[in-house]
Amino acid sequence: MTAASNLFQGRTNATASEQQQAAVREFDNLVDALRLARINVVVVEDTPEPHTPDSIFPNNWVSFHEDGRIVLYPMEAINRRTERRADIIETLSSEYKFQIKDILDLSEHENAGHYLEGTGSMVLDRSNRIAYACLSSRTQLGPLGDFAQRMDYEVVSFDAVDRDGIPIYHTNVLMNVGESLAVICEESIANVDQRTAVLTSLRDTGHEVVSLSYDQLDAFAGNMLELRNGAGERVVAMSTRAWESLDATQGQTLQANGRIIHVAINNI
C-alpha cells in the first residue's frame, strides 16, 4: 500500500467504487483538456487482473527518453510492481510508433529493498541532464546513482519535509522544472546548504524560480508539468486546486511561460 509513506493521500467517506468512478471521470476530463490543447495523449486501458489500483500513475514505473531508451523503476509498494507491463511498451512501439532502442530495467533494486519511483522520485531537467531528488523511503541513493551513471545525469539530492517535519515522499510534489521556469517549495528544504545547492543549480541553468508556500504545496501546486503541443507551444498542466492556490503574480509568471491547462482532479 502507498498510504504509509504518502501523507498527501487524503481520506474520504466514499466507497471504493465511488472513488474509482470519480477518478475515471477526472482522468477523462484531463485527457480531453490536454487534447484540446493539442497535446498528443496515449491512453492504455488497465486490465482487471492483476488488480493495480494505482496504475493511473505510470510515471512511477516507467520513463521515456529522447534517445529511444526506456527506464523501468523499482517501487516500494509490492502491489504496484505488476504495473510494469511489457505489453504496454510493445503497444507503444507497434501501434504508436515509439522508437524504442533499449530498455534499462532498474527493478532489480527491489530485491535489496531500494526504490526509485520514476519521475515521481526524480524531477528531471532533461535539457541539462540534471535529476533533482528528494530522498525518502521511495527515493534512495543506490538506484538513484545507478540511474545517473547509466543515463548520464547529474544528481542534485536533498531532504525535504512537510509543515509537520515529516519527510516528503516524492520530489514532484514539491517542485517542477520546465525549460526556463521552475517552481519549488523552498521552505520544505530545511537544510540551508541543500536549499542553496538546489536553487543555485536551477538559476545556473537559466531558470526563473517561483517559490511556493506550504499552503500551496498542500494544494499540489508543486505537482504541475510543462509540455509542448503539436504546434511547439508550451503548455503547463496542473489541477484546478493548484491553480487557484497561486497568487496573482505567480499566475502571471506562469501564463507568461506558457498556456495554462487546469482540471479538477480532487479524487485522483
The answer as to whether 149 is a domain residue is yes
CATH number at 124 reads 3.75.10.10
Kindly state the helix (H) or strand (E) to which residue 252 belongs, with its residue range. helix 248-257
The answer as to whether 122 is a domain residue is yes
Q: What is the pLDDT of residue 50?
A: 74
Cβ(259)–Cβ(69) below 8 Å: no
The answer as to whether 260 is a domain residue is no
Q: What is the pLDDT of residue 1?
A: 45
List, edge to edge, every strand of the sheet that includes 69-72: 62-64, 69-72, 102-105
Q: What is the pLDDT of residue 263?
A: 97
Pairwise CA distance, residues 113 & 96, whole Å: 34
**Average of per-residue pLDDT across 105-131:** 99
The answer as to whether 128 is a domain residue is yes
Q: What is the pLDDT of residue 7?
A: 61
Q: Which domain holds residue 120?
A: 46-223
Q: What is the pLDDT of residue 16?
A: 80
Q: What is the pLDDT of residue 45?
A: 84
Evaluated on CA atoms 169, 186, 209, 266, the torsion sign reads: positive
Residue 69 has pLDDT above 80, yes or no: yes
DSSP letter, residue 214: H
Residues 6+ apart with CB under 8 A from 175: 123, 132, 182, 183, 184, 185, 222
The answer as to whether 14 is a domain residue is no
Percentage of the chain beyond pLDDT 70 is 95
Q: What is the pLDDT of residue 15?
A: 85
Closest to 190 measured CA to CA, from 204, 174, 206, 208: 174
Pairwise CA distance, residues 109 & 117, whole Å: 11
Mean predicted lDDT score pLDDT of the chain: 94
**Average of per-residue pLDDT across 138-166:** 98
Among 37-46, 133-142, 209-218, the least confident range: 37-46
The answer as to whether 257 is a domain residue is no
- The distance in angstroms from the start CA to the end CA of the chain is 16
Beta bridge partners of 64: 70
Q: Is 12 exposed, middle or buried (0-12, 13-18, 19+ CB in 10 A)?
A: exposed
Tally of domains in the chain: 1
Q: What is the pLDDT of residue 234?
A: 98
**Average of per-residue pLDDT across 96-121:** 97
Tens digit of each residue's pLDDT (9 = 90 or more) over 1-48 = 445 555 655 556 778 878 888 988 999 999 999 999 999 999 998 887
The answer as to whether 259 is a domain residue is no
Pairwise CA distance, residues 42 & 97, whole Å: 12
Residue 79 has pLDDT above 50, yes or no: yes
